[in-house]
Amino acid sequence: MSTTPLLAVLACGLVTQCLLLIPMVPGGKIDTRDFSALPRWQYRGFNVLLTTLGLATLVTAGMAVAGLAVAAWPALLVALVYVAVFASDLGGIFPVVEDALPVQLLVLEALSLALAGSLATLALIAVLG
């Protein structure tokens, strides 16, 4: 199957989104907030969600590169999950910790939220088109 320009752009955006997610791992070099106030199951569950999201993103990007039109549906779902994750963190909904959002994390999350919104729009166009 041949990849359409829309699927190619979706694939590139998905890979970029995944690469932006990697340095934002909680407890890493950029996200230095103290999560000890969170119950362990919430902290671990959130990390499982982020890991699963990253893997699903790469699988979906592979589907788009392969030219599978059905890739638009998981791309839409993945993009909406990214929107939910970043909007909830930037909005102070989850995770709720005492530490302020580090500036580098704030910038990366804002960029990632904008990219996720763009990817959701492109995926919706691909689904409807």
| pLDDT tens by residue, 116-127 | 999 999 999 999
Long-range contacts of 1-6 (CB under 8 A, 24+ apart): 1/66, 1/67, 1/68, 2/67, 3/64, 3/65, 3/66, 3/67, 4/67, 4/69, 6/122, 6/125, 6/126, 6/129
**Overall pTM > 0.85:** yes
| pLDDT tens by residue, 39-90 | 999 999 999 999 999 999 999 999 999 999 999 999 999 999 999 999 999 9
Parent domain of 13? 5-128
Please give the tally of structural domains in the chain. 1
pLDDT band for 27, please (50, 70, 90 cuts). confident
pLDDT band for 106, please (50, 70, 90 cuts). very high
- Per-residue pLDDT for 1 more than 70? no
